[in-house]
A and B are shown apart, each in its own frame.
Chain A
Amino acid sequence: MKIKMKPITRRQFFKTVAGSVVSFAALLASAPRAFAEKFFHEPPWLTKSPYWGMAIAVDNCIGCGKCVEACKTENDVPRQPYFFRTWVERYMIHRSGETKVESPNGGMDGFPPIKKSGDMMRSFFVPKMCNHCENSPCEQVCPVGASFRTQDGVVLIDRKYCIGCRYCIQACPYGCRYFHPKLHVADKCTLCYHRITRGLKPACVEACPNGARIFGDLSNPESPVSKFIENNTVQVLKPAMGTRPKLVYRGLDREVR
Chain B
Amino acid sequence: MKDIQHILRMAGVFVVVISGFLLVRHLLVPASFGLYGHYRAAAIDDIKALPISFVGQKECAKCHGPRVQEKNKGGHRNLGCETCHGALAAHAAAPAKSRPVRVAEKDMRAFCERCHAASFSRPAKFPQINPDAHNPGAACNSCHNPHSPRL
Contacts and interface: CB of A to CB of B under 8 A. Distances in A.
A247 B48 CA distance: 21
Contact of A74 (B43, B53, B131): B53
A65 B144 CA distance: 23
A74 B54 contact: yes
Contact of A62 (B33, B40, B122): B122
Interface in B24-61: 30, 33, 36-40, 43-44, 46-54, 56
Contact of A73 (B53, B79, B117): B53
A193 B86 CA distance: 20
Interface of A is mostly: loop
A240 to B, nearest CB: 27
B33 A145 contact: yes
Given A74-B54, A206-B80, A209-B78, A158 B119 contact: no
Contacts of B51: 194
B121 A110 contact: no
B151 to A, nearest CB: 19
B80 A158 contact: no
B52 A206 contact: no
Most A CB contacts (10 A, CB to CB) among B49, B56, B80 go to B80
Interface of B is mostly: loop
Task: Give the bracket for the number of chain A residues in contact with chain B.
Answer: 35 or more
Given A194-B52, A203-B54, A206-B56, A156 B123 contact: no
B53 A150 contact: no
Interface string B1-40: 0000000000000000000000000000010010011111
Contacts of A145: 33, 37-40
Contacts of A64: 114-115
Given A158-B39, A209-B78, A114 B119 contact: yes
Contacts of A125: 121-122
A59 B120 CA distance: 13
Contact of B37 (A74, A120, A148, A201): A148
A211 interface: yes
B115 A70 contact: no
Interface in B75-101: 76, 78-80, 82-83, 86-87
A256 to B, nearest CB: 14
Interface string A30-68: 000000000000000000000000000001111111100
A44 B121 CA distance: 37
B44 A156 contact: yes
Interface string A189-200: 010011101101
Interface in A95-138: 110-111, 113-116, 120, 123-125
Contacts of B131: 113
Nearest to B36: A151
Most A CB contacts (10 A, CB to CB) among B54, B87, B114 go to B54
Given A193-B48, A203-B54, A113 B118 contact: yes
B114 A90 contact: no
A150 B44 contact: yes
10 contacts: A114-B120, A145-B38, A190-B47, A193-B44, A194-B47, A194-B51, A195-B54, A201-B56, A207-B82, A211-B78
Interface of A: 59-66, 70, 73-75, 90, 92, 110-111, 113-116, 120, 123-125, 145-151, 156, 158-161, 190, 193-195, 197-198, 200-201, 203, 206-211
Given A113-B119, A158-B46, A207-B83, 5 more contacts: A73-B53, A145-B40, A148-B43, A206-B54, A209-B76
